[in-house]
Amino acid sequence: MPLEIVTIPCLADNYAYLAHDAATGTTGVIDVPEVTPILNALAARGWKASHILITHHHDDHIAGVETLATATGARVIGAAADAHRLPPLDEAVAEGDSVLLGMGAGRVIEVPGHTVGHIAFHFPDSAVVFTADSLMSCGCGRLFEGTPDQMWESLTKLAALPDETLVCSGHEYTQSNIRFALSVDPENAALKARAARVAALRARGEATVPVTLAEEKATNPFLRATDPGMKARVGLAGAPDAKVFAHLRALKDRF
Ligand code: ZN
Ligand code: FE
């Protein structure tokens, strides 16, 4: 049975997620920007947090980890590479390691770029990947620590997952990301259709995540760095994908 996923708005524009395995009653919490909305979401379903999965060390993803771990006894899992700047870990993981949520087997994918120790958690049987601030909804995280080449390699790994994979990212940034996307990809029909859907969702105050990887591949300008039309539009016809990505990321930083 696939994991049941719950999206929890936190702080101004963060998202935490619950991933629940009904067969065993196991519940993973992915990132803890703050504790109260997560405890409320758990209580509303009669679930208990058994695992906390940390994507990266930024405060808006870990601020509530220790409090939630103490309150629930949940096992805290995060990147070995970042153990020195994460809350105390019960399990330190690296590329390819497995993370078990009951019957749900996940795999750790190292996705440096936004930070050098950023990881994603992919659960193939549930077709879901938790990407936080690496691959984001119609965008990608700002490069605070890593290089454009590192982020491009990270995005390439995520883009290789099956098309139906649900991408659970860390923030509600879709609408502003789409404004940038339209500036470099104005004739993309899938992007224009997505802009209309996202505007309607936001007008109702609803979350625009998660989305399928197929939709990201069709609309996310950073994943479209491989597209000859995109390359030509930004003045880099025939250039390597990583170079086009770096240019798009720089354009977004100034947008
Ligand atoms: Zn971050
Ligand atoms: Fe963040």
Best CA proximity match to 54, nearest among 13, 88, 5: 88
| 166 C-beta neighbours (distance < 10 Å), count | 18
Strands (E), 102-186: 104-110, 119-123, 128-132, 135-136, 139-140, 166-169
Q: How far does the centroid of ligand 1 lie from the alpha carbon of residue 38, in Å?
A: 19
Could you please state the CATH topology (level 3) that the domain comprising 4-254 is classified under: Metallo-beta-lactamase; Chain A (3.60.15)
- Position 141 scores a pLDDT of 98
Ligand 2 ion: nearby residues, β-carbon < 5 Å: 60, 133, 170
Q: How far does the centroid of ligand 2 lie from the alpha carbon of residue 180, in Å?
A: 19
Q: How far does the centroid of ligand 1 lie from the alpha carbon of residue 110, in Å?
A: 15
Q: Average pLDDT, stretch 111-121?
A: 98
Element (H, E) at 38: helix 36-45
Q: Using alpha carbons only, give the angle 179, 122, 169 rounded to the nearest 5 degrees.
A: 25
Q: How far does the centroid of ligand 1 lie from the alpha carbon of residue 229, in Å?
A: 31
Q: Average pLDDT, stretch 90-95?
A: 98
- Position 209 scores a pLDDT of 98
Q: How far does the centroid of ligand 2 lie from the alpha carbon of residue 60, in Å?
A: 6
Predicted TM-score (pTM) of this structure: 0.98
Residues β-bridged to residue 169: 132
- Position 41 scores a pLDDT of 98
- pLDDT (tens digit per residue) in 37-48: 999 999 999 999
